[in-house]
């Protein structure tokens, strides 16, 4: 039996971030100044020890903890909670020199030299042992320290290693998965191009110098990299669990980082955290970007259905974007509170004080090289700190979603790796985001889940481009719809199974009964071309008119499904393009082509009406304004956020509501300024 997992219970929202005082060991006055400035910035948390290995263990087996003792004690004395990191994200030079096996081997089978970070071999027994040793030492020394609130294992796990240890572990993993080579050969369809394996040791990880287009191999390699990284993390965690069972554990994710299926990590971790670096003002419209960020926050919250932490963000700019534009006035507060609005219990930064040298000396920090508090960025940060103090009771509150978008890593891997139905613009994630965006505009709270999660808690399930259908999923979808759920599926669904073998009988494979149709072929349309679909008269959703469709259009044959729209042009003009199949107490919609955003907006507005999806607000949201609600019992906080550069008016209704940020009572018509945020408190929920 597993011990019950500890949870992070915060009685305040955290405001802080990466704090690296070891960079300033020679200037003790900086340490004093840090504490003075942290107070001014309303900082109550510091993430310590990320990348501190060389300072903590200057030579093998000799630990130097005195500086960290001092840091922990000073932070505790000042009421600042510590998130203590394990240092495996980068290693000391002595370690790499003595044990070259810890260095990664690249896909073209070259061993890396010492340097950089996030580049260890996850299989190396020596690296695992040395990580466990220092983690144990940290847990022994600080496990009962009053400042320690959370472990932060490593940093942004990622990448892959192709060394012999990893190759052997991969083969062993494949043997456990398939048992026999016959089954593996079948699953990977290796008779194609004469790729049949006759001995396990012939199998190598994908390489630009070797096998790179065997999709089943690629998929299994990605799965293996996830499992091996997870196993590495579990090894890191073992001494922490043993010595500090009461201290919860996190690691910082990177949104939808493609290299790891983060769902596999969720059970082992006690708290989800992630690093959020949007390109405000520099990547198309801020409004679209805001909804993409909302998608990532919603994902972070959905991994464990509990509040998460925004472990990193920049207080000003990053240094690694093509163009690092300054955040316009108001955007720091807005972007920070957006995280809280979607379920974060923290606003944390990388990093507290700007480094003097090294690769990140120009990355934004709370304290700039100027060294004092008289900067715009410092004032922005201090203001956010004050607001978070006012929002203190929000800590630990929940978000209740009536809708889920299905975004599945393995599905993404398979779609991205396939050759076809077009080389560019398969756009799995942007498509999921486009569907999410339509719900975001309505103020409908949405979780982001994968195909293994429980569907029954949602009224609506949206599964764009469900190319891969793993075993049992179609049956679970059928049961969900039969019991009253509504599902939205699209083109390029039900194409292949878990090893990327196409379903015999054609698409939508095992989803055929649920959708009541079969797919004959898919047309890929060039960027300068488009088609339209025309809504059928008197369709059940009461949608009218013509909508643009582009990039991917399927020719489908409804069997039991009703037609809601038909193509308007090309040789398949007049053929069905959108259908609904009533199934049990629910319904399964099918969009056979990629539509424009305008259609998705109207479609989800119609579904929201029909299914009575709760919205964060009882009024329509103006363009660029988003809304969420966090709840605890009868208490609720409605966040209204204006991501446009124009003021926007909302109509709050007659009863005045307390606005927490400005401490005013608001009712009637209210203007949300450009990049402005309102947080309205209420005692008893007005929405269902
Ligand atoms: C990542 C890392 C940090 C830092 C920031 C800079 O999130 O975890 O160490 O490099 O990026 O944006
Ligand atoms: Zn390796």
Convert the pLDDT of each residue in 235-270 to its tens digit. 999 999 999 999 999 999 999 999 999 999 999 999
- With tokens 């130097």, the residue in question is 64
Residues sharing a CB contact under 8 Å with residue 422, sequence separation 6 or more, in sequence order? 524, 551, 552
d(Cα 391, Cα 513) in Å, to the nearest integer? 49
Which structure tokens are listed for 438? 């339509």
- Top-level CATH class of 625-681? mainly beta
Residue whose CA is closest, atom 7 of ligand 1? Answer: 275
d(Cα 616, Cα 686) in Å, to the nearest integer? 9
Query: How far from the centroid of its chain's Cα atoms is residue 650's Cα?
Result: 30
DSSP of 460-526: EEEETT--B--TTHHHHHHHHHHTT-EEEEESS-S-B-TTSPBPTT-TTGGGHHHHTEEEEEEEE--
Q: Is the CB of 318 under 6 A from ligand 1?
A: yes
d(Cα 52, Cα 151) in Å, to the nearest integer? 14
User: Are 343 and 302 within 8 A, CB to CB?
Assistant: no
Q: Beta 576-583 vs 562-567: how paired, if at all?
A: antiparallel
User: Are 311 and 273 within 8 A, CB to CB?
Assistant: yes
Return the number of other C-beta atoms located less than 10 Å from residue 206's C-beta.
18
Q: Is the CB of 152 under 6 A from ligand 1?
A: no
Quote the ligand 2 centre to 158 CA distance (angstroms): 13
pLDDT tens-digit readout, 581-630: 999 999 999 999 999 999 999 999 999 999 999 999 999 999 999 999 99
User: Are 230 and 133 within 8 A, CB to CB?
Assistant: no
Quote the ligand 2 centre to 156 CA distance (angstroms): 18
pLDDT of residue 55 exceeding 80, the answer is yes
pLDDT of residue 687 exceeding 70, the answer is no
d(Cα 258, Cα 76) in Å, to the nearest integer? 38
Query: Which of 87, 89, 156, 349, when mutated, tests ligand 1's pocket best, judged by the most ligand atoms within 8 Å of its CB?
Result: 156
Q: Is residue 312 annotated as a catalytic residue, yes or no?
A: yes
Return the number of other C-beta atoms located less than 10 Å from residue 600's C-beta.
24
**Which pLDDT score is estimated for 4?**
79
Q: Is the CB of 350 under 6 A from ligand 1?
A: yes
Which structure tokens are listed for 106? 């690249």
d(Cα 400, Cα 33) in Å, to the nearest integer? 42
Q: Which of 227, 312, 373, 554 is catalytic?
A: 312
Query: Which of 86, 159, 360, 361, when mutated, tests ligand 1's pocket best, judged by the most ligand atoms within 8 Å of its CB?
Result: 360
Residue whose CA is closest, atom 3 of ligand 1? Answer: 350
What's the count of helices (H) and strands (E) in the chain, helices before strands?
16, 27
pLDDT of residue 172 exceeding 90, the answer is yes
Residues sharing a CB contact under 8 Å with residue 151, sequence separation 6 or more, in sequence order? 83, 84, 85, 86, 237, 240, 244, 247, 248, 249, 250
Sheet containing 625-632, strands listed edge to edge, beginning at the edge strand earlier in sequence:
625-632, 635-642, 677-682, 657-659, 664-666
pLDDT tens-digit readout, 187-202: 999 999 999 999 999 9
pLDDT of residue 3 exceeding 80, the answer is no
Quote the ligand 2 centre to 270 CA distance (angstroms): 27
Instruction: Indicate the pLDDT class of residue 685, thresholds 50, 70 and 90.
Output: very low
Quote the ligand 1 centre to 350 CA distance (angstroms): 6
Share of the chain above pLDDT 90, in %: 97
Quote the ligand 2 centre to 163 CA distance (angstroms): 4
**Which pLDDT score is estimated for 553?**
98
Q: Is the CB of 311 under 6 A from ligand 1?
A: no
- Tell which residue, 539, 538, 535, has the closest CA to residue 549: 535
User: Are 604 and 564 within 8 A, CB to CB?
Assistant: no
Instruction: Indicate the pLDDT class of residue 675, thresholds 50, 70 and 90.
Output: very high
Q: Is the CB of 277 under 6 A from ligand 1?
A: yes
Instruction: Indicate the pLDDT class of residue 417, thresholds 50, 70 and 90.
Output: very high
pLDDT tens-digit readout, 355-410: 999 999 999 999 999 999 999 999 999 999 999 999 999 999 999 999 999 999 99
- Tell which residue, 210, 204, 200, 211, has the closest CA to residue 178: 200
Q: Is residue 683 annotated as a catalytic residue, yes or no?
A: no
**Which pLDDT score is estimated for 327?**
96
Instruction: Give Rg (Cα) of the chain.
Output: 26
Domain boundaries, the chain: 14-185+220-394, 403-611, 625-681
Ligand nearest to the CA of 254: 1
pLDDT of residue 1 exceeding 50, the answer is no
pLDDT tens-digit readout, 426-456: 999 999 999 999 999 999 999 999 999 999 9
d(Cα 355, Cα 637) in Å, to the nearest integer? 38
**Which pLDDT score is estimated for 283?**
84
**Which pLDDT score is estimated for 684?**
58
pLDDT of residue 2 exceeding 90, the answer is no
Do 14-185+220-394 and 403-611 agree at the fold level?
Answer: no
When comparing pLDDT for 223 and 1, which is higher? 223
User: Are 366 and 17 within 8 A, CB to CB?
Assistant: yes
Q: Is the CB of 156 under 6 A from ligand 1?
A: yes
Domain 403-611, CATH 3.40.50.880 — does that match?
yes
Mean pLDDT over all residues of the chain?
97
Q: Is the CB of 312 under 6 A from ligand 1?
A: yes
- Segment 461-469 shows an average pLDDT of 98
Instruction: Indicate the pLDDT class of residue 654, thresholds 50, 70 and 90.
Output: confident
pLDDT tens-digit readout, 300-317: 999 999 999 999 999 999
Residue 219 host element (H or E)? helix 215-243
Out of 3.20.20.80, 3.40.190.10, 1.10.3720.10, 1.10.1510.10, select the CATH number for domain 14-185+220-394.
3.20.20.80
**Which pLDDT score is estimated for 683?**
76
């Amino acid at each position: 039996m597993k011990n019950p997992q500890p949870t992070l219970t915060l009685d305040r929202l955290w405001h802080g971030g990466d704090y690296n005082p070891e960079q300033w060991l020679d200037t003790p006055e900086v340490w004093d100044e840090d504490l003075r400035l942290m107070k001014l910035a309303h900082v109550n948390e510091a993430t310590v020890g990320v990348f501190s290995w060389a300072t903590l263990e200057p030579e093998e087996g000799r630990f130097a903890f005195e500086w960290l003792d001092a840091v922990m004690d000073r932070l505790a004395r000042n009421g600042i909670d510590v998130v203590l990191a394990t240092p495996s994200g980068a290693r000391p030079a002595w370690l790499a020199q003595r044990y070259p096996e810890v260095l990664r081997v690249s896909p073209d089978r070259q061993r890396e030299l010492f340097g950089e970070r996030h580049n260890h071999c996850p299989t190396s027994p020596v690296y695992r042992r040395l990580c466990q040793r220092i983690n144990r030492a940290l847990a022994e020394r600080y496990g009962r320290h009053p400042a320690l609130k959370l472990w932060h294992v490593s940093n942004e796990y990622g990448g892959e290693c192709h060394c012999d240890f990893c190759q052997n572990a991969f083969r062993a993993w494949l043997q456990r998965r398939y048992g026999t080579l016959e089954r593996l050969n079948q699953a990977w369809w290796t008779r194609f191009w004469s790729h049949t394996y006759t001995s396990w040791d012939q199998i190598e990880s994908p390489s630009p110098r070797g096998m790179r287009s065997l999709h089943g191999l690629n998929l299994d390699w990605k799965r293996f990299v996830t499992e091996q990284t997870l196993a590495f993390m579990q090894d890191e965690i073992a001494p922490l669990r043993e010595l500090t069972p009461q201290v919860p554990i996190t690691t910082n994710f990177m949104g939808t980082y493609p290299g790891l299926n983060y769902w596999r990590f969720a059970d082992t971790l006690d708290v989800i955290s992630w690093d959020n670096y949007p390109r405000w003002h520099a990547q198309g419209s801020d409004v679209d970007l805001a909804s993409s960020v909302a998608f990532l926050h919603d994902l972070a919250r959905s991994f464990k259905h509990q509040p998460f932490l925004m472990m990193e963000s920049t207080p000003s700019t990053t240094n690694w974007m093509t163009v690092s534009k300054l955040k316009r006035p108001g955007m720091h507060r807005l972007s920070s509170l957006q995280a809280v609005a979607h379920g974060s219990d923290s606003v944390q930064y990388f990093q507290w004080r700007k480094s003097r040298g090294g690769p990140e000396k120009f990355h934004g920090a709370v304290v700039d090289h100027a060294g004092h508090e008289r900067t715009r960025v410092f004032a922005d940060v201090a203001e956010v700190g004050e607001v978070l103090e006012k929002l203190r009771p929000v800590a630990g509150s929940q978000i209740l979603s009536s809708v889920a978008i299905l975004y599945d890593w393995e599905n993404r891997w398979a779609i991205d790796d396939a050759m076809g139905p077009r080389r560019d613009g398969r756009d799995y994630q942007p498509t999921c985001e486009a569907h999410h965006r339509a719900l975001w505009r309505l103020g409908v709270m949405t979780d982001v889940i994968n195909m293994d999660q429980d569907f029954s808690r949602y009224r609506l399930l949206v599964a764009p481009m469900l190319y891969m259908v793993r075993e049992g999923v179609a049956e679970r979808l059928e049961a969900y719809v039969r019991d009253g759920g509504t599902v939205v599926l699209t083109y390029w669904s039900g194409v292949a199974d878990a090893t990327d073998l196409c379903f015999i009988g054609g698409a939508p494979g095992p989803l055929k009964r649920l959708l009541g149709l079969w797919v004959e072929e898919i047309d890929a349309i060039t960027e300068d071309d488009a088609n339209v679909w025309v809504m059928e008269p008197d369709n059940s959703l009461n949608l009218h008119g013509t909508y643009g469709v582009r990039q991917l259009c399927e020719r489908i044959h409804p069997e039991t499904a009703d037609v809601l729209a038909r193509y308007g042009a090309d040789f398949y003009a007049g053929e069905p393009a959108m259908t609904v199949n009533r199934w049990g107490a629910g319904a399964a919609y099918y969009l056979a082509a990629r539509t424009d955003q305008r259609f998705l907006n109207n479609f989800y507005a119609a579904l929201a009406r029909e299914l009575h999806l709760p919205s964060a607000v009882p009024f329509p949201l103006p363009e660029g304004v988003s809304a969420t609600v966090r709840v605890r019992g009868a208490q609720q906080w409605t966040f209204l956020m204006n991501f446009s550069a124009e003021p926007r008016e909302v109509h709050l209704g007659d009863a005045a509501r307390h606005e927490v940020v400005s401490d005013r009572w608001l009712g009637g018509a209210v203007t949300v300024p450009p990049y402005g945020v309102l947080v309205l408190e209420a005692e008893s929920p007005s929405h269902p």
